[in-house]
Amino acid sequence: MTKTAGILLFPDMEELDFAGPYEVLTAFAEYVDKGWQVVTVAQTTEAVTGAKGLVVVPHCSFETCPPLDVIVVPGGQGTRVEVDNKTLMDFVQSRGREAAWVTSVCTGAFILSRAGFLKARRATTHWAAINELRAEPEVEVVENQRFVHDGNVITAAGVSAGIDMTLYLVGQLKDIEAAKLTQRIIEYYPEPPFAEAAVAVAGKEAS
């Protein structure tokens, strides 16, 4: 029986928040474990415009979405509006309760919090929203960590951290070798790992 990972889309989502996990999960499903499929899902099947202007047509709507084993909630400015969108919140609550894994990237953590999935759990978000997350009830906020795993919930810090989180998730869905193979397939090996290091290297090469 095919298992399904669903990635939530909504207006003004941060593009890499959903595209990073989508790349990891689709590589896993296509090359490592064909027992998985990946879908994008939004309130309707109309095109959704991200925070940077990317236009994406979701695979399915809330009504046509298959049962989800994994749900991924991205962040972005749109989360400020979507936490008050009852239709979206009801979808996240109902599908999250049924899913084996509930995950978020960046400020997607606020949607998970309002949906009740971060109650009495450790969680993280983008560094610029950490203090806001502290204001959420009963959330133990973790700083300076790329992702946080607590129970069946994994929250990632900002934007690119979603790739790290999803590779870790692949290890949980199958095993560490599957995660390593998926990482190799998408060729995700940040080098140098920090912008400061890249500047330093460039400076040495120019001298």
- Which positions are annotated as active-site residues? 106
Q: Quick one: three-class SS letters along the chain? A: CCEEEEEECCCCCCHHHHHHHHHHHHHHHHHHCCCEEEEEEECCCCCEECCCCCEECCCEECCCCCCCCEEEECCCCCHHHHCCCHHHHHHHHHHHHHCCEEEEECCHHHHHHHCCCCCCEEECCCHHHHHHHHCCCCEEECCCCCEEEECCEEEECCCCHHHHHHHHHHHHHCCHHHHHHHHHHHCCCCCCCCHHHHHHHHHHHHC
Task: Give dist(CA 4, CA 95) in Å, integer.
Answer: 12
The amino acid that residue 76 corresponds to is: G
